[in-house]
Amino acid sequence: MREQQRQWSVALHDADLGVSALHAHFTTHAFAPHWHDYYVIGLIADGVQSFAYRRNIYYTTRGGLFILNPGEPHTGQSAVESGFTYRAIYPTNEHMAAVMRELGRPEKLPLFSTVRVDEQDIAATMQLVHATLDSALSPLERQTRWLSLLTTLVLRYGPERVALPVVGSEPRAVALARAYLEDHYAERITLPALAAETNLSPFHLVRVFRRATGITPHAYLESVRIRRAQRLLEAGETPATAAYLTGFSSQSHFTARFRRTIGVTPALYRKRW
């Protein structure tokens, strides 16, 4: 009983991304040989995991990632008595197809030849994406981070040489995106919807927008929302009302983002006026 209590697992699903995930700590649990019809991207947060894959035994330590292709059998278990904690995300073929369209190769899906990855920037991105699944972050922000993670993985570890299209200035697309964000800031904006307004693919829009403005579309949207919230607070509205009218998912999220941008909480800002 004591051993069972040391183990835990939490299944996650982000409806905006259409992705499932797992956060778990295992000590004695061992996955039987099996395969999936989706990809597996795993990050070891603590401990050491071992797994059989492609007739080899791999060991993944803290901060290490592993990438498994659909249809390929594998196992998984702890390699140390204290167990291992890990975060796993399960991209579907549809997710990877969207990445390949961004790379101009819509006719095929990537098959990763690299199994183990030990790069801090990828680990940090994976940690952030997993930790913010189905969170208070806007769909636009989560979708941007998700697509960026998958694209980076394909560019670095895919078996073929692929590259992102060259980014041009695209002033009309950027102007359309900015206008849409300004006009619909209080709504639930998604990356696909914003991209559709500009006739660009989602990730290409993000890159074009960042080159033109210096920030991502979701950072621009948040700045618009904060600016509108300032005007509401100056007019005497409560922080709760300001959060609701400017499209923030919760007052606590609004307070954290407002303070990060302005330097004081909404309540303290309101007292100035």
Residue 18: per-residue pLDDT: 95
CATH class of 2-157: mainly beta
- List where CATH 1.10.10.60 sits in the chain: 170-273
Instruction: Check residue 254 and give its pLDDT.
Output: 96
Average pLDDT per 10 consecutive residues for the chain, totaling 273 residues:
69 96 96 97 97 96 97 97 97 96 90 94 96 92 96 90 84 97 97 96 96 97 98 97 95 95 96 84
pLDDT value for 5: 52
pTM of the model: 0.91
When the candidates are 1.10.10.60, 3.30.2130.10, 1.20.58.390, 3.40.50.300, the CATH number that belongs to 170-273 is 1.10.10.60
Supply the DSSP string of the chain, one letter for each residue: -HHHHH-EEEEEEETTTTEEEEEEEESS-EEEEE--SS-EEEEEEEEEEEEEETTEEEEEETT-EEEE-TT--EEEEESSTT-EEEEEEE--HHHHHHHHHHTT-TT--------EE--HHHHHHHHHHHHTTTSSS-HHHHHHHHHHHHHHHHHHHSSS---PPPP---HHHHHHHHHHHHHSTTS---HHHHHHHHTS-HHHHHHHHHHHHSS-HHHHHHHHHHHHHHHHHHTT--HHHHHHHTT-S-HHHHHHHHHHHHSS-HHHHHHT-
pLDDT at position 2 is: 43
Give the model's pLDDT for residue 139: 95
CATH 2.60.120.10 residue ranges for the chain: 2-157
